[in-house]
Structure 1
Amino acid sequence: MSNLVGQPAPEFTLPSSMGGEVSLADFRGKQHVVLVFYPLDFSSVCSMQLPEYSGMREAFEELDTAVLGINRDSVYTHKAWSAEYGIEIPLLADMTFEVARAYGVHLEDKGMSTRAVFLIDKQGVVRFAYQESAPGQFTLHAEQLLEKIKEL
Structure 2
Amino acid sequence: MAAEIKVGDKAPDFTLEDQDKNPVTLSSFQGKKNVVLAFYPLDWSPVCTNENTCFSNDLPKFDHANAVVFGISTDSVWSHKAWKENLKLKHNLLSDIKRKVCQDYGLFIPEANINKRATVIVDKSGIVRYVKVQEILTARDDNEILKALEQLK
2:84 maps to 1:82: yes
User: 2:6, 2:128 within 8 Å by CA — same for their partners in 1?
Assistant: yes
Distance 2:107 2:133 in 1: 8
Aligned residues: 150
User: 1:68, 1:92 within 8 Å by CA — same for their partners in 2?
Assistant: yes
- 2:121 alignment partner in structure 1: 119
Distance 1:145 1:14 in 2: 23
- 1:9 alignment partner in structure 2: 11
The unaligned stretches of length 5 or more in structure 2 are: none
User: 2:35, 2:68 within 8 Å by CA — same for their partners in 1?
Assistant: yes
- 2:45 alignment partner in structure 1: 43
Matched to 2:130, the amino acid is F
State the Cα RMSD in Å. 1.2
Moved over 3 A (4+): none
TM normalised by structure 1 equals 0.95
Distance 2:20 2:8 in 1: 30
Identity %: 33
User: 1:15, 1:75 within 8 Å by CA — same for their partners in 2?
Assistant: yes
2:136 maps to 1:135: yes
The unaligned stretches of length 5 or more in structure 1 are: none
Matched to 1:46, the amino acid is C
TM normalised by structure 2 equals 0.94
